[in-house]
Amino acid sequence: MKYNRMVQTGWDVSVIALGTWVFGGTNWGETPQRELVDAVHAAQDQGINLIDTAPVYGNGKAEKIIGIALKKRRDAFYIATKCGLVGKGKQTRHDLSRASIFREIDGSLERLRTDHVDLYQCHWPDPDTPIEETMTALRDLQKAGKIRAIGVSNFDADLLKRSCARTAVATYQGQYSLLARALENEILPFVQKNEMGFLAYGALGGGILTGKYRQIPRFAANDARSFFYPFYQSEDQKSQKRLERLAGLKDRLQPLNQVALNWVRQKPGVLSVIAGCRNRQQVRQNAGAADWDLTPDQTQKLEVLDL
């Protein structure tokens, strides 16, 4: 495993992190708990030391599984969780108010079976709460010792700048892959200039960048791939050609999931790539991306593909 330094904290963070949206089950289908716990242990075996989660993943289920998995292993991981998305029945509301954040952190700590979170991130923006209130609340939690560092996720450039003007923001988390490169315009340059760590999610495009699909698949309405990742939502000619190009790329560059992870991992400013999994085997496959690098020629060829 390779590690990058998170400048504002001094932590050495594995370049591949363990993502746990799948652990919640709600948007990805159920996986036996024992396999998910085993996946966490496999991540430690592979040298992964950052685990990313959120209370909204399965209404606390993902955090509970992590809490179980990290019994007697807490010090092996930096735990990153989030606030600001609150489940209300079948709906989810955005709430980054001080009162909501204080409720959320206590719930997360209980489920994670720990007395502190290493990185606490605003999950999505809340247009109804002033960012000043949000950042002050996070800073107060930091002073209280419940969180060690502050991060934001999915903020636009303006909101990110306003957040950083209010307090020290250690990380930015956003969707970044060969298929989703919009953050290169403003976010990544700002993150680099301000010595923040960039945490990339969606590097595999919800699985489409593994090259395993020859036709656009159909998923249930509540499956994340049917509503979160646009790459599965179209039947136009471009989408089909994309799958054909990826399938052809898989024949030349193996394993393609590691190619996709490495393309993101090797970008300047990227601290760690968050990769989800269901089992020990997938953890090993993802962690293997840290064992080799794309050449400049390979990177260039990937970037000129019309994906």
- Is residue 237 scored above 70 in pLDDT? no
* CA 292 – CA 79 distance, rounded (Å): 26
* CA 39 – CA 74 distance, rounded (Å): 15
| Cβ neighbours for 73, distance < 8 A, ≥ 6 positions apart | 40, 41, 44
* Dihedral pair phi/psi, residue 267, rounded to 5°: -75, 140
* CA 146 – CA 116 distance, rounded (Å): 4
The total of other beta-carbon atoms located within 10 Å of residue 143's CB is 9
- Mean pLDDT, all residues of the chain: 91
How far is Cα of residue 107 from the mean position of the Cα atoms in its chain?
21
Give the pLDDT band of residue 235 (cuts 50, 70, 90).
low
Percent of the chain having pLDDT more than 90? 73
Least confident of 107-111, 142-146, 214-218: 214-218
The total of other beta-carbon atoms located within 10 Å of residue 158's CB is 10
- Angle, helix 256-265 to helix 280-287, in steps of 10 degrees: 50
Give the pLDDT band of residue 211 (cuts 50, 70, 90).
confident
Q: What is the per-residue pLDDT across 130-189, written as a single tens digit (0 to 9) for each?
A: 999 999 999 999 999 999 999 999 999 999 999 999 999 999 999 999 989 999 999 999
Q: Please indicate, yes or no, whether the overall pTM of this predicted structure exceeds 0.85.
A: yes
Give the pLDDT band of residue 89 (cuts 50, 70, 90).
low
Question: Which of 3, 57, 172, 176 does the annotation list as catalytic?
Answer: 57
Q: Is residue 57 annotated as part of the catalytic site, yes or no?
A: yes
Domains annotated on the chain, with CATH: 3-303 (3.20.20.100)
